[in-house]
Amino acid sequence: MIVDPLLKLIETQAASGLVIRAAAPPVLERKGSKVALSMPDLDADMVAMIVEEVLAAEQRDQLAAGVTVEAEYRAADGRRFHVVADRPQGHSGARLTFRPVTEAGRPGAARPAARAPEPAPHAAAPPPIHAAAPSTMPIAAAPIHAVAVASPIREGLGAALSQVLAQAEAQHASDVLIASGHAARLRVGGQLVELDQLVLDEAELLEDFLPLLDEAHRVELERSGSTDLALDLRAGAHGRRWRVNLFRRQGGSSIALRPIRTDVPTLRDLSLPDDFLELVQYRTGLVLVTGTAGSGKSTTLVALLEHVNRTAAKHIITLEDPIEYEYAPARALIQQREIGMHVSDFATGLRAALRESPDIILVGEMRDRETAAAALTAAETGHLVLATMHAGSAAMALDRIVDVFPEHQQGQIRMQLSMVLRAVVTQVLLPATRPPLRVPAYEKLLVNTAVATKIRDLRGHQIQSEIQKGRNEGMVSFELSMARLVRQGRLAVELAVAQASDKHLLAELMRQQG
């Protein structure tokens, strides 16, 4: 229903009512005053659709004739609202006033949901659990603690695999790709490098990795043909953790490994600007970090959460597949949950998080309709949700979210996005002028009134122009980001030109100073 997301604000904002009319933003009645929501004006068509949802045909006829109508509306979640619909003098459209119905059956103020007290600024988190077996206690009732990944792998790596990983560390590789029967490959500075003498056959590869899989990962590998896990080799010769994907293919098995930094990076370590810290200053809403695989989007969110961890007394719940970085307790309480180990999937973890009093929820990846719906609900009910998504631009990310829903729901989803989306950052890692280093180019969209209107009105193709116009508000286009890197001598002009969608704009920006 179109109006339901707006009605949820009555509860989350402890308001007594909500007023909707065309050519104005919705208004909350709270503590005797009227507070307009910071969102675009509702157009006449949107209000007409809400009227059709709320009132019966006879009541709509009476309203059209100038009669004030009273009705009761029941939201999809069962909440009841007393509705007064009228046509104020001087306005051509309808005005609807919603007030929640109390237990006694009368309109009254919504009671905000109780929240657990915020943790003390320097309260210590419980110690990590390093080798916990799956709990038999129901998820909703199980105690939640800061957790690490499965037990460290101490021994048993074959000589060939050990040599591959040693080469990867020596060459600062970002990825290791091993296909049985073929030479191992490293991704160094974005380019694949073949290790001619290092070939693992099927038996060697499986002998190394199958013993590392617990029963759940074995079942997943057999059922779906691939499985993700995090391996801890800090007790071995190579001293680091790895994110791993083991998968079946035509002719054998393969594995992709990505080293996980043992130190949690800062934005400066990642060559990203300090103004990214504004992304975790929002109290509520949805912030997306998008990009292709290997673009650094998860690492950017790690840096942002670590800043919160050091500076604010917040409760943070992360949902990861698998857990990569491990956060040391500081001012924040960060509780990490791994998909398949501590919770069945992202959507289930999000729904559970709403009962766990978080300030910030990190979603490792928005990959399906259930996760997107749960993330939007969490964002509109008073939480800050940070999520990653595979998309090459802000406009593509918005289209991906909307398109996973059935057509009859897409109008409602655009409405929700226009209300809860705060920012979209899209990243790409490009070869630096000093190989094998890579530098991040990025696009940053901040959702203002104009952007929200375009999201709601199905004008996502105009988002790019809003990024250009919003430079003074802190928005950054890919061309502007690459022009800065070129002027700093960190990115080759030829590479920037090859990557730019608007080459004329890039040329103009490269000529500018600052």
Looking at the structure, do residues 252 and 350 belong to the same domain, yes or no?
Answer: no
pLDDT at 443: 97
Supply the pLDDT for residue 158.
Answer: 74
Residue 113 has pLDDT above 70, yes or no: no
Q: What is the pLDDT of residues 321-380, one digit of tens each?
A: 888 888 888 999 999 998 888 998 999 999 999 999 999 999 999 989 999 999 999 999
CA-CA distances (angstroms) from residue 75 to 3, 48, 424? 8, 17, 30
Structure tokens at 157: 């790596």
Q: What is d(CA 328, CA 255) in angstroms, rounded to the nearest whole number?
A: 29
pLDDT of residue 483: 95
Contact 122, 204 (CB under 8 A): no
Strand order in the sheet with 183-188: 191-199, 183-188, 175-179, 252-260, 241-249, 226-232
Whole-model pTM? 0.64
Position 135 pLDDT exceeds 80: no
Last residue of a domain, one of 213, 232, 260: 260
Residues 101-121 have a mean pLDDT of: 50
Q: How many domains does the chain have?
A: 3
Alpha-carbon distance 293 to 285, whole Å? Answer: 25
Confidence of residue 103 (pLDDT cuts 50, 70, 90): low
With beta carbons less than 8 A apart as the criterion, state whether 53 and 76 touch: no
Do 218 and 71 belong together in one domain? no
Residues 305 and 178 in one domain: no
Residue-wise over 470-490: b if at least 16 C-beta within 10 A, else e? beeeebbbbbbbbbbbbeeeb
In-domain check, residue 369: yes
472 located within any domain: yes
| Rg of the chain on CA atoms, in Å | 26
- CA-to-CA distance for 199 and 178, rounded, in angstroms? 8
pLDDT of 196: 79
Q: Answer whether residue 321 is part of any domain.
A: yes
pLDDT surpasses 90 at 503:
yes
Which of 83, 100, 117 is the last residue in one of the domains? 100
Residues 244 and 286 in one domain: no
CATH number for 173: 3.30.450.90
Nearest to 184 by CA among 176, 246, 253, 244: 176
The values of phi and psi at residue 272, to 5°, are -110, 150
In a domain, 296, yes or no: yes
How far apart (Å, rounded) are the C-alpha atoms in residues 275 and 179?
41
Using one digit for the tens of pLDDT, what is the confidence trace for 1-53? Answer: 568 777 877 876 778 999 999 888 888 888 778 888 755 577 787 788 889 88
For residue 40, the 8-state DSSP code is P
Indicate whether 35 belongs to any domain.
yes
Residue 150 has pLDDT above 80, yes or no: no
Domain span including residue 90:
4-100
The predicted-structure confidence for 162-189, as pLDDT tens digits, reads as follows: 888 888 887 888 899 999 999 999 998 8
Across the chain, what does the average pLDDT equal?
A: 84
In this structure, are 254 and 324 located in the same domain? Answer: no
